[in-house]
Structure 1
């Protein structure tokens, strides 16, 4: 990631960035008045200044008045897209800037400047200097933005990685390596005979030459009173199995582990922030492939809790691996609450569009807290009902349930998963649609969005009487 510095010293040789609003110097105010829409959040107006210092000025729109955190985040992303790779920018910020606004600006700069980091493409370089009257007052906000951006970058990197590289063993190795850099995190990776009771995971991964893995990562700080279990769907590529997907539906299935990427990144971020919350993160990893050992429609699968599912559609595989992870959590971990994220259904996009995740939970307090965290983080969600009317559509003559009954896709999947949470508070996110962006939009770049990592960090930061760090 490129550098963001807090300073109270200005240097006229750097490209100047001025937020539109009160306190703008008279020359710039006159130019803004002549530029329709210059104060629109996320809009950048560029003014060249030949033979003068600085040689150009970027006017960053932050919306009405000082703007909220979301507007500052959009402004940051727009600024970094306008800048050159190695350009040094200097943003002169208002004296009364709220800490949350600075956090939004910094997140926008980093997230808007994201590039997938691999052996071919280097991450963006450059520097942004944020000039403030009292830089030390904003250090906590910048630290929170740094951790949030790093977590989101990691989630995007994992999701953008091609499936020719990203098999279950590789993904598990990435988790182990990242956790090893953070004291207090422990990781257990199960494979082979250790997966005997994980019938859904074994069935989904059975057709691939890359065997499945089950990763358990634990953050257990001293004195933690709340135990949160995070579960992320980790299908490293999804052909649909024997119920094969059409070509167009299969092209982006390297992203079918976006939920796993988000919960892993959020847990690593929680360790970086030293949050006083116990977190156990479960990541069932499999490749849903076609082969002689692939599971078939009509097969009966026995899950970790001993219950059975009749497979009626091998392209409804995500809920099968999540079921094992949720049942394991209920039986072995004694959590206070469970939150799962999954790129689960195409119905998510049909119901809510490309930018909004579906949230399903019977717990009003949990829904309120998660929605507030999503609003603060800039990750939208909408609650859908858990409608018991459809339960009868999941009945089977030969098992406890089927995995793909007729009905509204998001709700049917949530009803299936409800059997496995146990007697705890829980929330389920279907975030298939917002896990991927077809084009740059505010702080999103084209490709993987890392949806969920930011929201989870905000939520976890506020648990046990804590506050949303840097807000």
Structure 2
């Protein structure tokens, strides 16, 4: 069934530029922003603040003291500049805390700066000038993601991101490359968040596939889409069963990235992202309040699409194939039923004892296809898979499982570098009997220790391939604005994947 919904034009993230000059030396700024550092003898201000104080006739340190500022990361002290005190176009000075000065602190400071300058034309800041290694990237990524907005209003967006951010007092030779990488990371996070936020009356499996084709072509990827007929012909029983209750038929998306100069022997990483465009729970229907966020149950697929589109920009040195099994889990006379047995790609069977445990059914098909047809060196799946993960880890940390210690180490390092937190969970062999069916090869609804048993179910489809399973149902939704996260779908995942795949040797110790 064709959809008539049309997405309005959305806002764009800020533009960024680098300058070796101090803020007061750069014309046309509407806002100046300076870092604030805690110090045992009192707060310190970063580069250009003394010159700004003199130009404006203001005592910025006194203003901090009056505001009882602490300098903690993301704390913002706003100082309006009265018309008679203006220097050029400046009408506002922001003093932004950077805490202990870690990369995370600077990411949070960048996000706070972006929130404080919405609807402004131009801000010049020396925040990044005192940042540690990767600090320019942290400020940019934080500012980009802290600016995110989505709207579907007839009158247009209520507010817009600051149009331009100039990072002042930056003269490092590698800063341009760091900025380009930061734009790729932040842009991937923005894209994943946008895809997850689009309502399901537009975001059907076919629509999601169209977005993958569009961004894939722009990024120089080869993109293939399976429609429902090809899925049936090739035996993708899990995807077909999950999508069987919807008027919007399922799809599987394949995106291929090959680095320049690749040889036939180059190792291949396969990423698999859950693409459930809306999850009603099926016949085992969810309570109504639990459905409110289910337009973003394709967040794993969105993370894969966004990461694939940025691989070239981060210089990924290995071949990567992204797979997104996409379906809408709906209720109708053709929906899968509790007790049904489905046959996955490759022949393994699953007894469906809970239609709301649908994500693992579509992931299983794509993983089986990857192992059988793509000869992966490493297989990673990413999904908003289980509510149990949120019970285990709370709101802000995703969980991951791995059958290979070296790969687990790569995931841990990427989590630290990206700011997308992960905690390793155990593949407890004692629970294996819970995912065994009496009539089929597997049971999709083992219950108890739900995140672990879901991982054990999926492990059967990974074969002997080094494999990691990322379940970020715990981090898929931000209830409020917090640091670089904006209220709504978080867009978690692409920064993590790109930090790993954009490293010098993402398969070190494995291939």
For this structure pair, what is the TM-score category when the shorter chain's length is used for normalisation? over 0.9
- SS at 1:20's partner residue? strand
Trace 1:341-356 onto structure 2 (pairs within 5 A): 341-356=382-397
> Residue 23 and residue 209 in structure 1: after superposition, are their counterparts in 2 closer, same or farther (change >3 A)?
closer
Query: Could you list the per-position Cα deviations for residues 166-198 of structure 1 after superposition, in whole angstroms to 9, with x for gaps in the alignment?
Result: 111111011001111122x10111113311210
Give the paired residue count. 464
Q: Does 1:29 align with 2:61?
A: yes
Aligned counterpart, 1:229: 270
Which of 20, 28, 37 aligns to 2:36? It is 20
Shift of residue 99, structure 1, vs aligned partner: 4.2
Query: Could you list the per-position Cα deviations for residues 377-419 of structure 1 after superposition, in whole angstroms to 9, with x for gaps in the alignment?
Result: 1111111110011111222221112110132110010000000
Which of 193, 210, 218 aligns to 1:156? It is 193
CA contact (8 A) 2:238 2:344 kept: yes
Q: Which segment is superposed worse, 296-305 or 86-95?
A: 86-95
Q: Does 1:55 align with 2:91?
A: yes
Trace 1:105-116 onto structure 2 (pairs within 5 A): 105-116=139-150
Trace 1:250-261 onto structure 2 (pairs within 5 A): 250-261=291-302
Which of 210, 222, 230 aligns to 1:186? It is 222
> Residue 103 and residue 279 in structure 1: after superposition, are their counterparts in 2 closer, same or farther (change >3 A)?
same
Aligned counterpart, 2:250: 212
Distance 1:440 1:93 in 2: 21
- SS at 1:464's partner residue? coil
Aligned counterpart, 1:198: 236
Distance 1:94 1:332 in 2: 46
Q: Which segment is superposed worse, 306-315 or 89-98?
A: 89-98
Q: Does 1:11 align with 2:47?
A: no
Distance 1:129 1:202 in 2: 50
CA contact (8 A) 1:99 1:141 kept: no
- SS at 1:263's partner residue? helix
Trace 1:387-398 onto structure 2 (pairs within 5 A): 387-398=428-439
> Residue 463 and residue 426 in structure 1: after superposition, are their counterparts in 2 closer, same or farther (change >3 A)?
farther
Aligned counterpart, 1:102: 136
CA contact (8 A) 1:93 1:132 kept: no
Shift of residue 38, structure 1, vs aligned partner: 3.1
Give the alignment's TM-score, normalised by structure 1.
0.94
Structure 1 stretches lacking a partner, 5+ long: none
Query: Could you list the per-position Cα deviations for residues 211-263 of structure 1 after superposition, in whole angstroms to 9, with x for gaps in the alignment?
Result: 11011110012326331100000000011111111101111110100000001
Distance 2:305 2:165 in 1: 29
Distance 2:222 2:118 in 1: 40
Aligned counterpart, 1:38: 70
Aligned counterpart, 2:126: 92
Calculate the aligned-residue CA RMSD, in Å. Answer: 1.9
Distance 1:249 1:94 in 2: 41
CA contact (8 A) 1:226 1:464 kept: no
> Residue 79 and residue 323 in structure 1: after superposition, are their counterparts in 2 closer, same or farther (change >3 A)?
same
- SS at 2:375's partner residue? coil
Distance 2:324 2:128 in 1: 44
Trace 1:232-311 onto structure 2 (pairs within 5 A): 232-311=273-352
> Residue 11 and residue 440 in structure 1: after superposition, are their counterparts in 2 closer, same or farther (change >3 A)?
same
Aligned counterpart, 2:14: 2
Trace 1:71-90 onto structure 2 (pairs within 5 A): 71-90=105-124
Distance 1:466 1:424 in 2: 13
Query: Could you list the per-position Cα deviations for residues 342-379 of structure 1 after superposition, in whole angstroms to 9, with x for gaps in the alignment?
Result: 11111111110111111111222211211111111111
- SS at 2:322's partner residue? strand
Shift of residue 13, structure 1, vs aligned partner: 5.6
Distance 2:457 2:73 in 1: 41
Distance 2:347 2:243 in 1: 19
Aligned counterpart, 1:323: 364
